[in-house]
Amino acid sequence: MIGTVFRSEDVPESDRFDYWRELIAQTRSNDFTSAHSAEFWGEVRLLELGPTTVMHTSFLPTRFRRSPRMVRQCDRELYHLTLMLDEGMALDHAGRTTTFNSHDLHLADSSHPYDFRPAYDRERRVVRGVGVDVPKALLPLPQHRVRELLNRRLSGHEGIGALLTDFLAGLDRQADTLRPSEASHMGRVVVDLLAAWIGQLLDADTALSSETRRTALTERIRAFVRQNLHDPELTPSAIAAAHHISVSYLHRLFQQQTQGETVAAWIRGQRLEGVRRDLADPALGTTPIHTLAARWNFPRAADFTRTFRAAYGLTPKQYRIQALSERA
């Protein structure tokens, strides 16, 4: 596992809000206030991915305010991206209020004031989100163009925005298995996806490097594969045709982005992960193992058992017994 995890119940109730504020303040210089500070609840997973920081947060309504005085006192020259996983936050800016919904995105600049506050301040309604802090110098786009997108409600439901939101949400699920050696690579992927998304919104794709465009294409292909893992016709040829590229270029992309792993091996690994999750699901505890394997395109029981054991060190049956007993 990489990063820092904080759960409010790990510290005395009287210290929870201050402790939580200190952790968030490691990356964001804001004034934090909450109507629930006396009985605060919050969770944070803070991931340091090279120069990029990603925070998965769940908290009771809290106001994040960066005043002009705070800007003058300290500016780390960062872009702050917020992905809302729930509704419940609003932004006061330039005399207007914008309310954010689930899977909306919000981009702020540490060089400018902002006031990001709860829409329902007094309700004990948990708000979940993902925060990303990226040094402005890493984003290969002119700052005067990026300024056009600041402090607006931006959709994370389509195009590269959807890839970006899926990737950020997925980082939390991967955090327990990520190795420190992978952190910088994951940080570069976050920056490349952010740059590709902003470039798409500004119609400024030509300002992006070829590496950034390759990363965005690779993540688009990964998302396509994950959506079609149950399809037995999911082959490198089919994937390449769906993205209007050659099979050889598809293989080169994966070799560059996955440290040499082949397309077929990555697909097999994703399908194995699907079976592993199903085996650990109590709701599927009575479903025969061979049925679960067949759903993920492992039709031969003996081959599946051998492949699964090579990947996880246990047979599928042993893994199911262990996983379900841990949940009992």
Asked if 131 and 165 count as a contact pair (C-beta separation under 8 A), the reply is no
Tell the residue number behind the tokens 């902002």, with chain if given. Answer: 114
Where do you find CATH 2.60.120.10 in the chain?
Answer: 4-227
Tokens standing for 14?
């009287």
10 Å CB burial of residue 69 (0-12, 13-18, 19+) is exposed
Position 2 scores a pLDDT of 57
Position 213 scores a pLDDT of 84
Give first-to-last CA distance, the chain, whole Å.
24
Amino acid at 107: L
Asked if 110 and 76 count as a contact pair (C-beta separation under 8 A), the reply is yes
Under-70 pLDDT residues of the chain: 1-3, 121, 175-177, 258-259, 328
Position 1 scores a pLDDT of 44
For the domain bounded by 4-227, which CATH number is listed?
2.60.120.10
* β-sheet with 127-135: strand ranges across: 4-7, 42-49, 52-59, 127-135, 78-84, 104-109, 154-155
3-state secondary structure of 175: coil
Please name which of 320, 325, 232 lies closest in space to residue 276, comparing C-alpha atoms. Answer: 320
Does the predicted model carry a pTM greater than 0.85? no
Rg (the chain; Cα; Å): 22
Give phi and psi for 319, each to the nearest 5.
Answer: -65, -45
3-state secondary structure of 74: coil
Does domain 231-328 fall under CATH 2.130.10.10? My reply is no
- Beta strands at 89-93 and 52-59: parallel, antiparallel or unpaired: unpaired
Position 298 scores a pLDDT of 94
Distance CA 310, CA 130 (A): 35
Tell the residue number behind the tokens 């402790």, with chain if given. Answer: 19
Write out pLDDT tens, residues 185-206: 888 889 999 999 998 898 877 7
Where do you find CATH 1.10.10.60 in the chain?
Answer: 231-328
Asked if 240 and 249 count as a contact pair (C-beta separation under 8 A), the reply is yes
